[in-house]
Amino acid sequence: MKEMSLKQIATAVNGTYHGDTQKLSQEITGVSIDSRKINTGYLFVPIKGANVDGHDFIPQVAENGALCSLCEHPPTDIDIPCILVDSCLQALKDLAKYYRSTLNIKVIGITGSVGKTSTKEMIAAVLSQGFKVLKTEGNYNNEIGLPLTIFKIKEKHEIAILEMGISNFGEMHNLADIARPDIGVITNIGLAHIEHLQSQEGILKAKTEMFDHLGPNATVILNGDDALLSTITSVQGRPPVFFGLSDSHSVYANQIETKGIRGTTCTLHLPEETFQVKIPLPAMHMVYNTLVSAYIGHSLGLTSTQIKVGIASAMPVAGRNNVIKTDSLFIIDDCYNANPVSMKGAIDLLADSETRNIAILGDMFELGEQANELHREIGTYAVKSNIDLICLVGELSKYMYEGAKENMTTSQVFHFPTKEALLEALPSLLKPHDTILVKASNGMKFAEIVGILKDMNI
């Protein structure tokens, strides 16, 4: 990471330094909240969790080479300097905000109810054709993960692509205050986290808190096909850039030809440039992701050839529309998370398959009082999409089963109370060359089902 001395850190977090004053000028080599990941010269930030207090590991990180630790109570019998703060969590955010202010780098902030990660990955694939890029890894997109991602930015990096995830009001305000995006992207306003945000209007309000802390002369890029985002006419006195499938937008796609799990071809229309692309990843939402990525690449000076190469190089992410081909099955691994919008999109993709199609669907969480009805709606949608076999797993998914049975077409529909019950039945339900969608909220742990399907011989 870029140089940052203990004196600068103490000032940035409004902390009190305890230790050898001759070390105040020494610079840290990294930041970690995990004692197991401490390397020589690191700053340790001990976070208090529900079951573990990071302060208990300060002696261990001292032995492992940490240069300094933050702490919330005066240190005793510790061999390394400590910086006393009121809250280590707040200090982590304050330090990341300070570190971001020292960086001469363009930051792209991405949020939305659905598609943050796949959009981030596509943007990174495109921009990597001309820039040294750092992107959010895994689910490091909240008030702990975002600061840790920012600390990974090095002087060699030219662009940072930061995923920004929230579940309540005020969180996006805090994330944007740390990240200060130069380009802000909102993919859509769906129903994710509606339990806390109450309505889609509440989700819009929470997501657009990003606008409170954009960088000077920032560009805002919004999904113009989204009913709520399309109502935004000005951000910081400037019109946003809208993308979508309508030629009324300044960035749009047409001549779209879907090839099921093999991807999509389409024509992209950017300001002053039009060209065809082949998108290797399946699902219609990848067309939207491609539009955003192409526009950002174009605006930063990449050629159409570089943009097309970047799009073609995009790789799937495990748990997110990741198509896995085994000797006997096609598996659509989309089990990282789920909400009503992404469920319908995944079902649409499955319905396009050229073989017998099977949906293994589980509970969607954080839907509040609307949960039962929204699950019932998905069951109805699945049978009306003519999915051949629908396997529903979990307590909430019994409402999917009800919706499916009430609107029965030619589909076979089963409900299983547990994953174990499903897995026991699967061998007798599957046939060679089936295409299988696996999707549920992450808490259902459907990655286990994907793993078993990968090893299954039908």
Instruction: Name the packing angle between helices 285-299 and 116-127 (round to 10°).
Output: 40
> What's the pLDDT at 353?
87
Distances (CA, A) of 103 to 106, 150, 370, 392: 9, 10, 44, 49
Question: Would you give the DSSP letter of residue 184?
Answer: E
Instruction: Identify the residue whose tokens are 């019109």.
Output: 239
So what's the pLDDT on residue 193?
54
User: CA nearest 409: which of 431, 437, 387?
Assistant: 387
CA dist 299 and 280 (Å) reads: 23
Cα 41 from Cα 20, distance rounded (Å): 15
359 contacts 437 by C-beta, under 8 angstroms: yes
Q: In order along the chain (458 residues), what is the average pLDDT of each group of 10 residues?
A: 93 96 96 95 93 91 95 85 96 98 96 89 97 93 96 96 90 96 93 66 90 94 96 94 96 92 93 94 89 98 97 87 90 90 91 92 91 95 95 96 90 95 95 95 94 90
Residue 369 burial class via C-beta count within 10 angstroms: exposed 0-12, middle 13-18, buried 19 and up:
exposed
Tally of residues, the chain? 458
Q: Which domains does the chain have, with CATH numbers?
A: 6-88 (3.40.1390.10), 103-312 (3.40.1190.10), 322-454 (3.90.190.20)
Q: Tokens standing for 396?
A: 């909430």
Residues in Cβ contact with 101 at an 8 Å cutoff, skipping those fewer than 6 apart: 180
Torsion sign (Cα): 118, 119, 124, 125: positive
Q: List CB contacts of 34: < 8 A, sequence separation 6 or more.
A: none
What's the one-letter identity of residue 370?
Q
Vertex 215 angle, CA 232 and 203, to 5°: 40
